[in-house]
Amino acid sequence: MSGTRNRVRVFSLRPATSIRLRDRGKGPAAPSPRFLAPAGRINLPAADRLLALATAAGALVILLVVVLFACELAYRSYPAWARFGPGFVTSAAWDPVRGEFGALPLVYGTLASSLVALALALPLGLGSAIFLAELAPAWLRNPLSFAVELLAAVPSVVYGLWGLFVLVPWVRTHVQPFLGHWLGWLPLFQGPPLGLGLLTAGILLAIMVTPTIAAIGREVLLAVPLHQREAILALGATRWETIRLVLLPYARAGLFGAVILALGRALGETMAVTMVIGNRHQITASLFEPAQTIASALANEFAEAHTALHMSALMAAALVLFLTTLTVNVAARLLIRKVARGPEGMRYEC
């Protein structure tokens, strides 16, 4: 009997329980010695090292392509920079016959059309994202989300043709006369209703970039943890208060990134803008007047550039567009870091 009692005590849970109680609070167990190098560095298996090298090589190739692209643009545009210097960006002249080139109207048209598009697309895209993530019924959510993503995949030339044959007549007949009648005292809405111009290009760009904001914003809002919603609803908050006080602050970094992606597409859009902006090399305060962007100038004049200086000027304009887009993305990345930090050092991540 004594031997039996001893065997029963061997298989009892008392030793294991005491061990767990003694080890509680000491943190996770140390990793196995075979994963540690003598100096304390992690010694990864061969497959993990190969994966790390492959992914690092892919990242370096992308970086190398960007650097080579910038170097090629700088090399091809050197004659224009040597001839005009910084005045190329500040000059408004563009006369291939006389050999005078200035990119200021092109930069103005690019920024103006993109800002108009962003001002129109931001409320539409953000509202669509909130509706798809929080308010849409279950039977409508997936089909509508698929339709929004499908709009983002439509080629730009299709948007351009639709804008030329549908949007331009509608803007000329209805939108511009209405704005001119009620807001004609503002410089932004003065001039004859031509249809082609900055306003039409901005509206078309807004239609093109709204699906990007809506699709990415929806995914960002769906990534907010469920307990965040449940906590504020348990406190008696309404649906609007939940969206305003929890969802938008928590996901603001991701939403800001979606807006920047949309702005990047608007800055570099070519064919659709070329068809509806009017392609006139000028700086004007009126949104009704035709203008020209850097991308539309490249599309219109690249095949007709017969002199070396003209070709170099177009390459210089392309370099300005490249640097502008790069600057916007770098500034946006820095702003996202700042926006992602909540009050008192808290961070909202999605």
What CATH number is given to the structural domain containing 142?
A: 1.10.3720.10
Query: 3-class DSSP state for residue 103?
Result: coil
- The answer as to whether 80 is a domain residue is yes
Q: Give the total residue count for the chain.
A: 350
- The answer as to whether 13 is a domain residue is no
The per-residue pLDDT for range 138-191, each reduced to its tens digit, is 889 889 999 988 888 889 999 999 999 999 999 999 999 999 999 989 999 998
Domain boundaries, position 246: 63-345
The count of structural domains within the chain is 1
The reported pLDDT for the residue numbered 169 is: 95
Give the N- to C-terminal CA distance of the chain in Å, as an integer: 63
- Residue % of the chain over a pLDDT of 70: 84
The reported pLDDT for the residue numbered 252 is: 86
- The answer as to whether 315 is a domain residue is yes
| Strand partners for 36 | 42
- The answer as to whether 46 is a domain residue is no
Work out the pLDDT band at 67, boundaries 50, 70, 90.
very high
**pLDDT over threshold 90, residue 5:** no
Q: Is the pTM of this model over 0.85?
A: no
The reported pLDDT for the residue numbered 23 is: 47
- The answer as to whether 20 is a domain residue is no
The reported pLDDT for the residue numbered 233 is: 86
Q: Which residue, among 271, 299, 269, has the nearest Cα to 157 in the 3D structure?
A: 271
**pLDDT over threshold 50, residue 22:** no
With beta carbons less than 8 A apart as the criterion, state whether 246 and 232 touch: yes
Determine the Cα–Cα distance for residues 14 and 4; give it in Å rounded to an integer. 17
- The answer as to whether 9 is a domain residue is no
The reported pLDDT for the residue numbered 19 is: 41
**pLDDT over threshold 60, residue 349:** no
Number of neighbours of residue 258 by Cβ within 10 angstroms: 24
Determine the Cα–Cα distance for residues 336 and 257; give it in Å rounded to an integer. 7
- The answer as to whether 211 is a domain residue is yes
The reported pLDDT for the residue numbered 153 is: 85
The per-residue pLDDT for range 319-340, each reduced to its tens digit, is 999 998 888 888 777 777 766 6
Give the residue-averaged pLDDT of 24-31: 50
- Residue % of the chain over a pLDDT of 90: 51
Contacts of residue 198, defined as CB under 8 A and 6 or more positions apart, other chains included, come to: 109, 112, 113, 116, 277, 284, 286, 287, 288, 289, 290, 291
Phi, psi (rounded to 5 degrees) for 155:
-60, 150
The per-residue pLDDT for range 291-330, each reduced to its tens digit, is 999 999 999 998 888 899 999 999 999 999 999 888 888 8
- The answer as to whether 71 is a domain residue is yes
Give the residue-averaged pLDDT of 218-239: 88
